[in-house]
Amino acid sequence: MIRKEYTADLEKLEVDVLKMGELSKESAKNAINALVHRDMELAAKILKENVIIDDL
């Protein structure tokens, strides 16, 4: 029983870490674009979406 829970927790952790990595990569790409193009709307969007990454 404990082993199944442990395995399930590890699988969820793996999914969360992969998701966090993808979201972080996208956020970094958008941050560079926002900076280069001085896009304040995109910068604000990035800040709002960072909450999702933080929650992981």
How do residues 2-49 score in pLDDT, each as one tens digit? 999 999 999 999 999 999 999 999 999 999 999 999 999 999 999 999
Q: How confident is the model at residue 56 (pLDDT cuts 50, 70, 90)?
A: confident
> Is 23:8 a contact under the CB 8 Å cutoff?
no
Per-residue tokens: 25: 């990569």
Q: DSSP label at 39?
A: -
**pLDDT for the residue 1:** 79
Domain boundaries, the chain: 2-55
pTM of the model: 0.78
Q: Which amino acid is located at 7 in the chain?
A: T
**pLDDT for the residue 54:** 92
